[in-house]
């Protein structure tokens, strides 16, 4: 009798370990590694909760294995022997076998797998979860994304007129509307970027007065637009403000790019001009700088709204000829006073009092005789 019991235990144990082989691509998940691998990891996981004696589970093995191999490097695929690790299955409400859960964007709230239990069906659901995680990651800090199970929260779904699945809505300060873009991650990101940009104020065009201004504009943004305007004596307040207004309008037009915008007076920051080859074509001058790559592009065309717009459009599409920043780092900035918005005034010449000068002291050439 004891021998028979031992054989039965071995048979059950053997069937459990043989459900998925190490070469199948399916990770064996247990209470000891589930937290580390699934919940604390960045990857999207498809997890099957199974019982070794379950016929449906056994029939799923070849399809689940195919899916794991197809998703290798993209989505993690795991399996939990929920008959052996009942506490782990119970934690996620597993009541029947096999149960498949998707641990995607919110690992604390996995989604139920409701697709076809075929390799293709599993792959399709897994890739959709990857795209939704990717979209949410790219939009982090711009737009918050969330999900609502409309089959559970029927009152909320009805309130917003949800009739089919999936339905995507956007909420902005009391304004609710339907999402009308594509369903890929890039579609969602592009649509959301446009929505976010529409609510952004135009960026401020800031004068470079110290190192912190240039650092903030260039190192905290993907690209910074640096403009060097003529000296105030060569271009008075009306002229200067006209240039700044052009830059402000263009900043508003390209605000979804999240660029930094700064300006300096000619020769106020000679090291910066030298680093960006500014000055050879006169003033005003404009450069687009990528501080991460330490590469810049210089406006060679007309310094007009249309000329700058054409230059910036090329920059936004990744076109245009670039050059390395001299010295391969942001140059030191000289501290200057902020422009007061007034016209420039020539310095007054000092009056010379000649009343005490005896003209007899000068020789024929105008030199003072000693």
At 200 the pLDDT is 66
Rounded percentage of the chain residues whose pLDDT exceeds 90: 53
Residue of higher predicted confidence among 168 and 199: 168
Q: How far is CA 11 from CA 7, 21, 98, 237, 321, in A?
A: 6, 16, 21, 90, 70
At 11 the pLDDT is 34
At 98 the pLDDT is 96
- Mean pLDDT, to the nearest integer, of 138-166? 73
- What average pLDDT does the structure give for the chain? 83
Bridge partners, residue 108, by sequence: none
Summarised one tens digit per residue, pLDDT across range 166-181 is 778 877 667 777 777 7
Rg (CA), the chain: 34
Residue of higher predicted confidence among 182 and 232: 232
At 184 the pLDDT is 62
What are the chain's domains? 27-139 (3.40.30.10), 154-199 (no CATH), 206-324 (3.40.30.10)
**pLDDT at residue 50 is higher than 50:** yes
| 0.85 exceeded by pTM | no
Q: Please, what's the largest Cα pairwise distance for the chain?
A: 141
Which of 332-338's residues contact partners 24+ apart within 8 Å by CB, and which partners?
A: 332/211, 332/271, 333/208, 333/210, 333/211, 333/213, 333/214, 333/269, 333/271, 333/272, 334/268, 334/269, 334/271, 335/209, 335/210, 336/208, 336/209, 336/210, 336/265, 336/268, 336/269, 337/209, 338/207, 338/209
At 360 the pLDDT is 58
Summarised one tens digit per residue, pLDDT across range 324-350 is 999 999 988 999 999 999 999 887 766
């Amino acid at each position: 009798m004891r021998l028979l019991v031992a054989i039965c235990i071995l048979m059950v144990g053997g069937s459990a370990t043989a459900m998925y082989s190490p070469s199948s691509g399916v990770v064996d998940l247990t209470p000891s590694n589930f937290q580390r691998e699934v919940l604390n990891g960045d990857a999207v996981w498809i997890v099957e909760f199974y019982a070794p004696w379950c016929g449906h589970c056994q029939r799923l093995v070849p399809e689940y294995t195919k899916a794991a191999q197809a998703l290798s490097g993209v989505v993690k695929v795991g399996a939990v022997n929920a008959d052996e690790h009942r506490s782990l299955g119970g934690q996620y409400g597993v009541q029947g076998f096999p149960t498949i859960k998707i641990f995607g964007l919110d690992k604390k709230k996995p989604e139920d797998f409701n697709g076809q239990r075929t390799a293709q069906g599993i792959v399709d659901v897994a890739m959709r979860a990857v795209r939704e995680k990717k979209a949410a990651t790219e939009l982090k800090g711009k737009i918050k994304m969330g999900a609502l199970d409309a089959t559970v929260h029927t009152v909320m779904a009805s309130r917003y007129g949800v009739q089919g699945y999936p339905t995507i809505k956007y909420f902005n300060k009391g304004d609710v509307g339907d999402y009308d873009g594509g369903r890929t991650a890039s579609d969602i990101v592009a649509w959301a970027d446009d929505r976010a940009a529409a609510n952004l104020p135009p960026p401020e065009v800031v004068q470079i007065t110290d190192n912190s201004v240039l650092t903030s504009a260039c190192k905290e943004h993907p690209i910074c637009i640096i403009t060097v305007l003529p000296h105030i004596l060569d271009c008075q307040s009306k002229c200067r403000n006209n240039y700044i207004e052009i830059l402000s309008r263009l900043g508003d037009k390209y605000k979804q790019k999240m660029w930094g915008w700064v300006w300096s007076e000619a020769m106020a920051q000679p090291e910066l001009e030298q680093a960006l080859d500014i000055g050879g074509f006169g003033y005003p001058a404009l450069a687009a700088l990528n501080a991460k790559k330490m590469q810049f592009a210089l406006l060679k065309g007309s310094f007009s709204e249309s000329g700058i717009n054409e230059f910036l459009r090329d920059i936004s599409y990744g076109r245009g000829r670039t050059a390395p920043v001299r010295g391969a780092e942001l140059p030191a900035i000289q501290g200057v006073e902020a422009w007061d918005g007034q016209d420039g005034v020539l310095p007054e010449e000092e009056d010379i009092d000649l009343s005490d000068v005896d003209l007899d002291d000068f020789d024929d050439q105008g030199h003072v005789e000693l």
